[in-house]
Copies of this chain bind each other. A is one copy, B any other.
Amino acid sequence: MKYSQATDYALHAMLYLVDEAPDKPVSVQLLAEKLGVSQTYLSKMLTKLVKAGLIHSISGANGGYRLKRSQEDISFLDVIQAIEGTASLFECSFNHRNECLIQQVVVEAELQMEQFLKSKKIADLAKQVKG
């Protein structure tokens, strides 16, 4: 049970954008080169980040990707959930709704983790890397 590698790429891409893209949009070509992954593959993840409202895309020449929200607001949780989705770690086929105590325990546990990941911002990391 692991995060997909796509999450790895997305986190690094965001880290790059936060760190190095103050004004000009960054193309997927450049990002893919930096991360050592193919353009078309990386573009799928960036598109997910766009749909999650984390970054903004600009078509056409000189286009690319740019942060959308204020940097300080983008958390690890935002990026991870954009890629991995928000489904629970535990989902049983017998859906004994509202009465599944196992599900309740796992969901609450996940909430603990999510709360922490929400408090950690990508920008904090970029600062640390620089300093």
User: Can you list 7 A-B contacts with CB-CB less than 8 angstroms, sorted by A residue number?
Assistant: A1-B2, A2-B89, A3-B90, A76-B106, A76-B109, A105-B125, A108-B116
Q: How far is the CA of A113 from the CA of B61 in the complex (A)?
A: 45
> A11 interface residue, CB < 8 Å from B?
yes
Inter-chain contact B2/A90, CB cutoff 8 Å: yes
Number of copies: 2
Q: Who on chain B is nearest to A118 by CB?
A: B109
Q: Write the residues of chain A forming the contact surface with B, with a CB cutoff of 8 angstroms.
A: 1-4, 7-8, 11, 15, 76, 84-85, 87-92, 101-102, 105-106, 108-110, 112-113, 115-117, 120, 125, 128-129
Which B residue's beta carbon lies closest to that of A120?
A: B105
